[in-house]
Amino acid sequence: MRETGGTRTEWTFLTSHARVLLTISRDPGVRLRDIASICGVTERTVQAIITDLQEAGCLTRSRAGDGRRNRYAIVRGSRFRHPAEAGQIAGLLALLAAPPGAVESRDDE
């Protein structure tokens, strides 16, 4: 978090891990440098996050057909690690990856 000039700090809703997963869900063949640029972190951070996600069973990595690039796959049955988010990761990614306007807001609740 960064200071914004007063006593309050600037924060974001998603963690870097969630941003990396979301970026990969939108383009499974995305390059590390592009993930880093989109997520606002370094390539080294992205490498560490991808390793974390693989070790947690949320993500697999293989070589793309050209043999030069990686191709990622999100393990659809993977679940959040914390009990407060008891659900499958795929559901959140589907919601967040939807094009703007595809998910209606519900002001009546």
In a domain, 1, yes or no: no
C-alpha to C-alpha distance for 78 and 109, rounded to whole angstroms: 29
Are 6 and 14 within 8 A, CB to CB? Answer: no
Residue 70 resides in a domain: yes
Looking at residue 3, its pLDDT comes to 53
The answer to whether residue 21 sits within a structural domain is yes
Number of domains in the chain: 1
pLDDT of 89:
74
d(C-alpha 48, C-alpha 38), whole Å: 16
Torsion angles phi and psi, residue 77, rounded to 5: -85, 0
pTM reported for the whole predicted model = 0.74
> Which domain range does residue 74 map to?
14-96
Quick check: is 86 in a domain? yes
pLDDT for the residue numbered 34? 97
Along the chain (109 residues), what's the average pLDDT of each consecutive run of 10 residues?
63 88 92 96 97 93 85 85 70 72 52
Other CB atoms closer than 10 Å to residue 23's CB: what's the count? 20
Residue 25 is assigned to a structural domain of this protein: yes
Nearest to 47 by CA among 63, 57, 36, 60: 36
- The answer to the question of residue 104 being in a domain is no
CATH number, domain with residue 74: 1.10.10.10
| Inside any domain, residue 77 | yes
Amino acid 73: pLDDT: 92
Q: Is residue 9 part of a domain?
A: no
Q: Residues 6 or more apart from 84 whose CB is under 8 A from it?
A: none
Q: What is the pLDDT of residue 109?
A: 43
